[in-house]
């Protein structure tokens, strides 16, 4: 006798999104989370007395339809668009902002190169068009690469669409802009949340989606507020959420999932099991060996995770005081997402180190100051920073993360100090999470923040595997709903939304839920 209609393992924001849609359709749904709080990589935690931080992710890009369908605003979510979106300080002491408005971006670029400013409207117009075309496809099982290319056939964008899908962001940016600073500032959007370098094919797709949409938001209360609102939406629709409930294995009988077994041995039974864990963990760790055929298991084992993010959470006295735009009263340089990646070569060199298992001496940094938006996150005068120091590889050529974390943090703080002198002596508290720590804390393989790397051969109809990009798995009744499925990582909710719709379709459920 089943306990629920659906059991979801993992209360990441995608597990919660999937659960909320299924509960909205009237199904009895239970979400099981191994940690003490829901949210996965979208959590706010009080790390030090009175100081709350977005412990992992920090700027959600939730899809509007999901916010509306699940009534997240009514459930407490307050999102503010980040504008300026990015702030890029340079070693020369100059800086560049990108804004939501094209005109304001163009003016910024003109300070670096009139030629680049002139090229910007066409470039931006196309990226917007591309992102708008692709956006609806994010909320359905993925198209083939060929079909996506065919969308632009016969339009004025045909050639650029091919460039976007088949080249690297370095190629695209070098072809469009002459200023190294402009190239570097934009390139950070092409490598965000990936372990690829700007020279890797596929990064122009990521760049196009990020710059085309410009969807960075601040969630009041930190990123955990997204998960809290999703959990509330799920709960009001009758969903059951259990925390401190680690799933040890998925129970399968005659190739049909029948429920899950928790680490204390109890079972929760349901004819539909959904995994919010990453594909490697789901297929290689949570199913009994022999459940899947050898070929499938081999393909899963070869999927590339390759985490390279070192997350640093800082509490400091006062905000960063940038050499490129000094000032300790909160200004746009503190509210924007700061990118330290001053040129394509700088970013690529750091990637090259990671590629060979070495720590980058000068990691590119992506920084967000929560308290520049929300003074309630820390006592007066204290500011919190979320920092990702990129290209710190999970797999090290020599040494291990226990011994090398201090060095990796030192490298990141040295870079920060050179852009914002005096930061070091104002640090009050710090937590550093290596890719290994992220694997242990949040539970994703190799600490990859998007569950699988977002290389072109693992995106669209290839995610997670060709032939299995529709959330179903070779085990009947077992589905995936996390970032390792289309359209990938980020706090968007799209994989959870899509998985719920496929499950309802398979159940022949009469109640369409939006
Ligand atoms: C440091 C960092 C910074 C990031 N910054 C951003 C950002 O600013 N903006 C952005 O859009 N994205 C960002 N990302 C990426 C984004 O947060 C993730 O891609 C996204 O949150 C993944 O969501 P998910 O629900 O698919 O999976 P997860 O968040 O990984 O959730 C999976 C859940 O499953 C649970 N689980 C796993 N195994 C089991 C089990 N056996 N039993 C029970 N529960 C289990 C885990 O505990 C976890 O709660 C960042 C990620 C990290 C780590």
Q: Six-digit token pair at 128? A: 């917007």
Ligand 1, atom 9, residue with closest C-alpha: 59
Helix axes 494-506, 13-24, angle to 10 degrees: 40
Ligand 1: centre distance to CA 161 (Å): 30
Ligand 1: centre distance to CA 329 (Å): 33
Ligand 1 neighbourhood includes 497 CB (under 6 angstroms): no
Q: What domains are defined for the chain? A: 6-39+224-303+453-506 (3.50.50.60), 102-207 (no CATH)
The closest alpha carbon to 251, from 232, 235, 236, 265, belongs to: 265
Ligand 1, atom 35, residue with closest C-alpha: 10
Helix (H) or strand (E) holding 131, with range, is helix 114-138
The closest alpha carbon to 439, from 281, 235, 215, belongs to: 281
Ligand 1 neighbourhood includes 282 CB (under 6 angstroms): no
Ligand 1 neighbourhood includes 389 CB (under 6 angstroms): no
Ligand 1 neighbourhood includes 17 CB (under 6 angstroms): no
Residue of 7, 10, 209, 488 to mutate, ligand 1, most atoms within 8 A of C-beta: 10
Ligand 1, atom 36, residue with closest C-alpha: 10
- Closest atom of ligand 1 relative to the 275 alpha carbon: 34
pTM over 0.85: yes
Ligand 1 neighbourhood includes 444 CB (under 6 angstroms): yes
Question: What pairing do the DSSP bridges indicate for beta strands 267-269 and 256-262?
Answer: antiparallel
Per-state percent for the chain, helix, strand, coil, to nearest 5: 40, 20, 40
Ligand 1 neighbourhood includes 275 CB (under 6 angstroms): no
Ligand 1: centre distance to CA 42 (Å): 6
Residue of 45, 66, 193 to mutate, ligand 1, most atoms within 8 A of C-beta: 193
Ligand 1 neighbourhood includes 488 CB (under 6 angstroms): no
Q: Which residues pair with 325 in a beta bridge?
A: 322
Distance from C-alpha of 40 to C-alpha of 34, rounded to nearest angstrom: 9
Ligand 1, atom 4, residue with closest C-alpha: 57
Going residue by residue through the chain (514 aa), what tens digit of pLDDT does each one get? Answer: 899 999 999 999 999 999 999 999 999 999 999 999 999 999 999 999 999 999 999 999 989 999 999 999 999 999 999 999 999 999 999 999 999 999 999 999 999 999 999 999 999 998 998 888 888 889 988 988 888 888 888 888 888 888 888 899 999 999 999 999 999 999 999 998 899 999 999 999 999 989 888 888 999 999 999 999 999 999 999 999 999 999 999 999 999 999 999 999 999 999 999 999 999 999 999 999 999 999 999 999 999 999 999 999 999 999 999 999 999 999 999 999 999 999 999 999 999 999 999 999 999 999 999 999 999 999 999 999 999 999 999 999 999 999 999 999 999 999 999 999 999 999 999 999 999 999 999 999 999 999 999 998 999 999 999 999 999 999 999 999 999 999 999 999 999 999 999 999 999 986 555 6
């Amino acid at each position: 006798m089943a306990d629920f209609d659906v059991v979801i393992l993992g209360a990441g924001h995608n597990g919660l999104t999937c659960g909320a849609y299924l509960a909205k359709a009237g199904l009895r749904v239970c979400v099981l989370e191994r940690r003490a709080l829901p949210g996965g990589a979208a959590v706010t935690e009080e790390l030090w007395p009175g100081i709350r931080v977005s412990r992992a992710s920090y700027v959600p890009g939730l899809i509007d339809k999901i916010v509306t369908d699940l009534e997240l605003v009514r459930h407490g979510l307050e999102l503010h668009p980040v504008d300026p979106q990015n702030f890029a300080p340079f070693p020369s002491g100059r800086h560049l902002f990108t804004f939501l408005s094209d005109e304001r971006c163009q003016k910024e670029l003109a300070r670096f190169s009139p030629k680049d400013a002139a090229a910007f409207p066409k470039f931006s117009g196309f990226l917007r068009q591309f992102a708008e075309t692709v956006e609806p496809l994010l909320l359905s099982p993925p198209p083939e690469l060929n079909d996506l290319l065919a969308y632009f056939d016969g339009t004025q964008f045909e050639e650029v669409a091919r460039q976007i899908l088949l080249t690297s962001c370095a190629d695209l940016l070098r072809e469009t802009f002459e200023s190294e600073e402009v190239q570097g500032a934009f390139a950070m959007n092409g490598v965000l949340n990936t372990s690829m370098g700007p020279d890797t094919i596929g990064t122009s797709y990521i760049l196009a989606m990020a710059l085309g949409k410009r969807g960075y938001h601040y969630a009041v209360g930190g990123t955990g507020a997204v998960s809290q609102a999703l959990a509330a939406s799920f709960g009001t629709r009758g969903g059951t959420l259990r925390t401190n409930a680690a799933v040890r294995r998925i129970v399968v009988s005659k190739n049909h999932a029948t429920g899950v077994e928790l680490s204390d041995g109890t079972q929760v039974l349901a004819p539909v099991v959904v995994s919010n864990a990453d594909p490697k963990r789901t297929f290689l760790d949570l199913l009994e060996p022999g459940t899947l055929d050898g070929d499938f298991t081999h393909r899963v084992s070869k999927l590339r995770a390759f985490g390279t993010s070192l997350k640093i959470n800082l509490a400091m006295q006062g905000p960063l005081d940038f050499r490129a735009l000094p000032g300790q009263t909160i200004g746009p340089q503190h509210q924007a997402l700061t990118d330290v990646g001053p040129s394509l070569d700088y970013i690529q060199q750091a990637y090259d180190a990671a590629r060979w298992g070495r720590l980058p001496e000068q990691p590119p940094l992506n920084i967000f100051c929560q308290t520049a938006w929300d003074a309630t996150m820390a006592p007066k005068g204290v500011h919190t920073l979320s920092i990702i120091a990129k290209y710190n590889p999970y797999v090290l050529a020599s040494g291990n993360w226990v011994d090398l974390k201090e060095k990796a943090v030192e490298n990141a703080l040295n870079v920060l100090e050179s852009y914002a002198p005096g930061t070091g002596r104002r640090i009050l508290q710090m937590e550093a999470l290596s890719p290994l720590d992220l694997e242990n804390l949040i539970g994703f393989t190799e600490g990859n923040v998007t569950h699988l790397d977002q290389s072109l051969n693992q995106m669209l109809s290839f995610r997670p595997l060709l032939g299995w990009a529709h959330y179903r798995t070779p085990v009947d009744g077992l589905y995936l709903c996390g970032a390792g499925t289309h359209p990938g990582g980020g706090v968007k909710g799209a994989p959870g939304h899509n998985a719920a719709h496929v499950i309802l379709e398979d159940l022949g459920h009469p109640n369409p839920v939006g």
